[in-house]
Structure 1
Amino acid sequence: MSLIKKFATVASGTLMSRALGFAREMLMAAALGTGPVADAFYAAFQFPNTFRRLFAEGAFNAAFVPLFAKEIEANGVEGAKRFSEEVFGVLFTALLALTIAMELAMPLIVRFVVAPGFADNPEKYDLTVALATIMFPYLICMSLAAMMSGMLNSLRRYFAAAVAPVFLNIILVGVLANAWYRGHDGLTVGYALAWGVLAAGLVQLAIVWIAVRHAGIAIGFRRPKLTPNVKRLLWLALPAAITGGITQINTLIGTAIASGQDSAVSSLNLADRVYQLPLGVVGVAVAIVLLPELSRALKSGNLIEAANLQNRSVEFTLFLTLPAAAALLVISEPIVRVLYERGAFAATNSTPVVSAILAIFGLGLPAFVLIKAFTPGFFAREDTRTPMYFAAISVAVNVSLALTLFPSWGAPGIAAAAAIAGWVNAAMLLGTLILRGHWDRDAALLKRIPRLVIAAAIMAAGLWFAAGEAEQWLGSVAPVYTQAAALAVLVAGAMVIYFGVAFGIGGADIGMIRRNIRRNRANAATGAAEPE
């Protein structure tokens, strides 16, 4: 299977999840708007979600995958199974202890960490505590699921791990549809969503557990024991967790700061959902696929293949994220209006604020995706500390700017701080890879990047002009179906312009894709076929 096909496999599952996520957010915006229940739910859900990124996805994609891959190479499937059981025993025990401690301390955590601004509003504060208490066990399910997803990715079985998150949105869309049908009030909807999150965690864990068994590895529970392999994993996982979850750390900080202003938390989350589509589909797909592939190339001593993997991954991410960033910057308001402006959301007139936040997030989108393409260059070499230091600097930049900008800019100031911190982090990662000789100069990449920027700029100019001409069909007075149709035409036209210019001026090369596919077919023909 070619690198691009692997990206597409992971991206397809992520795309399904993000598409349903849009449906979920549209229903939530209509049901709750940016009111107190929405603020409470988003703040409460942000807490277990942050821990999931820190101690599950970030840590295991960075630390577990290279060690698991090494164990397969050295001791076969049986050795990998033994290693997985050792990790499972320690992880499950640690997560259970953490969950009990957090449940008991939840009132203090919400007051001083998650949403200190809610303390002045007892009803919102109490609701946030209650929802966070219901949802926090989701962390156990998702952390164990992330471990099993890492196993599947190392075995080059990408689809089950990519499609499992879809079920969170399927369940929450079902909850919201039922609430709409039965006419539930906002408070009832908030509690139903919290229980839906917990149910979704159980379903996702079941999916990847079955997939791992189907792959030939049945994990049993072993008494927790710090074996040499587990100690090595923990040594790598702590900095990797911080690095892998840097976006979530910044988001959690932004949520805490935003809690001091009504509707700011929900406004940030609604904008976040939109820019997470290209970030998830492209960035997550590249990070998931690149790490095990790069680890194998380095462990086999194939430095040419390792360099090619890194350069082609950056080329792929920029090819797709630069036009997405340009579109979010230019037409953020029509996007927000079509997706959210109805029901309780329209009543609060939240479109200008959410669209401003979305436009700023668009400026940071390429940086957020490049971080995911650069960090495997460190993780595959079992260097998780250097990205952690850069992540710490990024957090410091984010906090200082957010505190500076929030009083005058409001929620858009938090988005601006996150975008700037993202670019600082991406620049430090790339600069260090170059200085260490881990990133070779690639003539094709250097030639294509400025041409992709030009193509995106031309597309943005055309999109800005067309949006102005189509104002009568995109404005609030137009019916929603007219707005949606006009937005679809704009997006389709922008795609034609961008891809036409990009291929026309040499920013993209279809021949490279064909050569990649032919090369991997040749590998398969010589016995190097990869398992599906």
Structure 2
Amino acid sequence: MADDRIARASMFLASGTIVSRVLGFVKAIVLAATIGVVGSASADAFAVANGLPNTVYVIVAGGVLSAVLVPQIVRASAHADGGSAYINKLLTLALVVIGAATVVATALAPVLAWIYGGRLPDSTLQLATAFAFWCMPQIFFYGLYTLLGEVLNARRSFGPFTWVPVLNNVVALAGLVVFGLAFGFDATGERPPGDWTPGMIALLAGSATLGIAAQALVLLWFWRRIGLRYRPDFRWRGVGLGAAGRMAGWTFGMLLLTTFAGIVQTNVVSLASGDDASIAAIDSAWLVFMLPHSVITVSIATAYFTRMSEHARDGKLDLVRDDLSGAIRGVSLILMLATAVLVVIAYPFAAVFQPGDLANASALGNVIIAFAIGLVGFSILFVVQRTFYALGDTRTPFVFTLVQVIVFTLAALASTLLPVEWIAVGVALSTTIATTVQLILAVVLLRRPLARLDGKRVVVSLLRDLAAVILPIAAGVGLLIALGGFRDDGFAIGSRVGAIVSMAIIGSVMAVLYLGILWLLRSPELRGFAEPVVARLRRR
């Protein structure tokens, strides 16, 4: 019964993420039609400004809140008041910190814009700075969204956290359409920075911030639905916030490490800028790579995380072990297929960005492949990391993240020895290698608190998934060749429509074959996912 609840929760979360991601891609297309994308000074300025709030938020509090909130709130729920006092105190403290960070970052908007866009022409940098003043309030609303959403997750109200980003995308899309109708669409990006008026800047950047604000504020309504009431409480002593602070400290250190790795990555791939796959290719490939992870892994892990935290609070380590095993096997079942599909359709996927040019499609496609082969390991690591968080341990994740950053840095620097056209691929492979090392170390370290892991069942499941994907890969490659996936004028490369249709055909055939083989192999994980769906269909 518990596994059925997990499966239903995971499916509901995944559906919200899918809808949000689809709208996100639509928003990206409309944004390109509104201010351009390639060779557009306006688009470059807006990209710098609109990316700053998320960067600052992640450094200040992003991972800290996700790692700390759910386990601490679950533990506090054992208190006589159900954890209400603790939630109010922790929420008040977090909002004060995030609010202060927002004020400081807004005041430093010109400095931050210069750090990230200092090589832009002066007029473009000035426009980026103007955008940044309107975008910086997003920091506070990102924090509010995470705080309110994670409390809902801890109270087993999973849906709102993944579905309300749909509202964000709808508001932002509306703002883009209004901007285009009022000031004209500029798909070629020819509007110079000097032509932007204060009203234009306020509408474009302000609507982006309004979307983030709406996404956060609507969660207050869901709080009231489950009986939560927020009352600011500045009496922070004596309620165990010291433990949360220690956990947050290690997580903050981990975020600094990953920020350093990001700086190394950007500097290495920039060596190919202007000639071959570089920063834009890495960003685009990572966006593709993260799609199955965010839809599948995050949804499944989120549904398991609260239950893990409850079992850890009660000292039921055998049940934590079962949760870990179930999450890994469920994630791997789907991500093994996703990995295979991404590897096969990498070139058509790249052609969606740059159709009709096999050289450009293969340059980006190879980066996608280099990331994709590490997808299963990356997603398992995500689950293992969340298990440490459920156990109240953020120090150990800091240790294996430090090792990952060292391995990545060395491998990325070694990539500078490659021919310039292969540097981005080398950096992507560096990420895959470093993540694999990190996963191995994390699993070894997890044996200490859990005594033993459900290793045999997990390995058997992984090998079964791997065996089931061999035939689909062969069929997918055959279809790719038949659809002209290796020719400039091929159906799969020559146009965006052809690329999308080819991906749909190849992905569908591979999925049917994979799931069919797993069903014949009597995969318990597949049957666990399928039974709630079949039961619901039978009731209809």
The alignment's TM-score, normalised by the length of structure 1, stands at: 0.85
Q: Does the 8 A contact of 2:172 with 2:210 survive in 1?
A: no
- Aligned partner (choices 363, 372, 375) of residue 362 of structure 1: 372
Q: 1:206 aligns with which of 217, 237, 253?
A: 217
What secondary structure, in the 3-state scheme, does the structure 2 residue paired with 1:73 have? Answer: coil
Which shifted more, 189-198 or 267-276? 189-198
Task: Give the SS at the match of 1:382.
Answer: coil
Distance 2:156 2:256 in 1: 23
Give the Cα–Cα distance (whole angstroms) in 2 for the partners of residues 133 and 417 of structure 1. Answer: 36
Residue of structure 2 aligned with 1:32, choices 14, 36, 39 = 36
In structure 1, what residue type is equivalent to 2:325? N
Alpha-carbon distance between aligned partners in 2 of 1:504 and 1:302, rounded to the nearest angstrom: 35
Q: Which of 437, 444, 465 is residue 478 of structure 2 equivalent to?
A: 465
Contact 1:172–1:197 under 8 Å retained in 2: yes
Instruction: Give the counterpart letter for 1:173 in structure 2.
Output: L
> Which residue of structure 2 lines up, in the alignment, with residue 109 of structure 1?
112
Contact 1:6 1:158 in 2 (8 A): yes
Q: 1:459 to 1:334 in 2, by over 3 A?
A: same
Partner residue of 2:342 out of 328, 339, 347? 328
In structure 2, the CA distance between the partners of 1:257 and 1:178, relative to structure 1 (3 Å rule), is farther
State the alpha-carbon separation in 1 of the partners of residues 241 and 159 from structure 2.
Answer: 27
Structure 1 counterpart of 2:481, one-letter code? G
Listed as ranges, the gaps of 5+ residues in structure 2 are 535-540
Q: Per the alignment, in what secondary structure is the counterpart of residue 83 of structure 1?
A: helix
The C-alpha deviation readout for 1:198-248, integer Å capped at 9, x for no partner, is 112210111212211221111122337455433321211122345479777
Aligned residue among 67, 72, 87 for 1:67: 72
Aligned position for 2:517: 501
Superimposed CA distance per residue, residues 269-297 of structure 1 (whole angstroms, 9 cap, x where no aligned partner):
33222222111011211332222111111
Q: CA deviation at 1:376?
A: 2.0
* Per-residue Cα deviation, 1:449-471 (whole angstroms, up to 9, x for no partner): 11211222332222111100111
Q: Could you list the runs of 5+ residues in structure 1 that have no partner in the other structure?
A: 519-532
CA distance in 2, matches of 1:388, 1:366: 21
The answer to whether structure 1 residue 452 and structure 2 residue 465 are counterparts is yes
Match of 1:143 in 2: 143
1:527 alignment counterpart: none
TM-score, length-scaled by structure 2: 0.84
Deviation at 1:41, TM superposition (A): 3.8
Note if contact 2:168-2:211 (Cα within 8 Å) is conserved in structure 1: yes
**Which of 293, 299, 304 is the equivalent residue of 1:285?**
299
Q: Which residue of 2 aligns with 1:234?
A: 245
Check 1:247–1:373 CA distance in 2 against 1; reply closer, same or farther (3 A cut): farther
Q: Is the 8 A contact 1:50 1:252 kept in 2?
A: no
The 1:451–1:376 alpha-carbon spacing in structure 2 relative to 1, beyond 3 Å, is: same
| Percent of residue pairs identical | 20
Name the residue aligned to 1:529.
none
Q: Match for 2:36: what amino acid?
A: L
1:89 aligns with 2:97: no
Q: Deviations over 1:375-408 (max 9, x none)?
A: 1221111111110122222223333433442573
Distance across 1 between alignment mates of 2:451 and 2:531: 24
2-structure distance, mates of 1:330, 1:438: 39
8 Å CA contact 1:53–1:241 kept in 2: the answer is no
Matched, 1:372 2:382: yes
CA root-mean-square deviation:
3.3
User: What code does the residue aligned with 1:172 have?
Assistant: A
Contact kept? 2:348, 2:502, Cα under 8 Å: no
Aligned to 1:474: 491
Out of 297, 302, 307, the residue aligned to residue 321 of structure 2 is: 307
Is 1:489 aligned to 2:505, yes or no? yes
Contact persistence 1:242–1:391 (CA under 8 A)? no
Q: Tell me the equivalent position of 2:428.
A: 415
- Give the alignment of 1:216-295 within 5 angstroms: 216-223=227-234, 225-243=236-254, 250-251=261-262, 254-255=265-266, 258=269, 261-262=273-274, 264-295=278-309
Report the more deviating stretch, 162-171 or 38-47.
38-47
Letter in 2 for 1:452: D
How far apart are 1:134 and its partner, in Å? 2.8
**Aligned-partner SS, 1:156:** coil
Aligned residues of 1:138 and 1:198 also touching (Cα < 8 A): yes
In 2 relative to 1, CA 316–251 (structure 1 residues): closer, same or farther, beyond 3 Å? farther
Residue aligned with 2:228, SS:
coil
